[in-house]
Amino acid sequence: MADPLPDSHPTVKRRRSQLLNHLLAYLLAAVVLVPLNFMLTPDRVWFFYPLVAWMAPLALHTAYAMGLFDRPSGA
């Protein structure tokens, strides 16, 4: 198994920055969807469907940012 890249490596910094942007977009969507749900259709709760569906890509992006999908070098 290859050693992980150091935290100061440009690839690690870029991946973390992209993940942070993805997480912020998710949180912004939640902040918009929850009030929108209760303003438009207070009798139906639907805001969690898009948020739960978004969690899978966010989890995969987190795994990618952690380097879990990187191929071992020299093996």
Flag whether 2 is in a domain: no
Flag whether 52 is in a domain: yes
Flag whether 1 is in a domain: no
What pLDDT score was predicted for residue 3?
Answer: 74
Q: What is the pLDDT of residues 42-54, one digit of tens each?
A: 999 999 999 999 9
Q: What is the pLDDT of residues 21-74, one digit of tens each?
A: 999 999 999 999 999 999 999 999 999 999 999 999 999 999 999 999 988 776
Flag whether 30 is in a domain: yes
What pLDDT score was predicted for residue 2?
Answer: 62
Dihedral sign of CA atoms 34, 63, 56, 19 in order: positive
Q: How many domains does the chain have?
A: 1
Q: Which domain holds residue 43?
A: 10-65
Flag whether 5 is in a domain: no
What is the pTM for the complete model shown? 0.85
Flag whether 51 is in a domain: yes
Q: Contact 19/62 with Cβ under 8 angstroms?
A: yes
Flag whether 47 is in a domain: yes
Residue with tokens 């690690």: 12
Flag whether 72 is in a domain: no
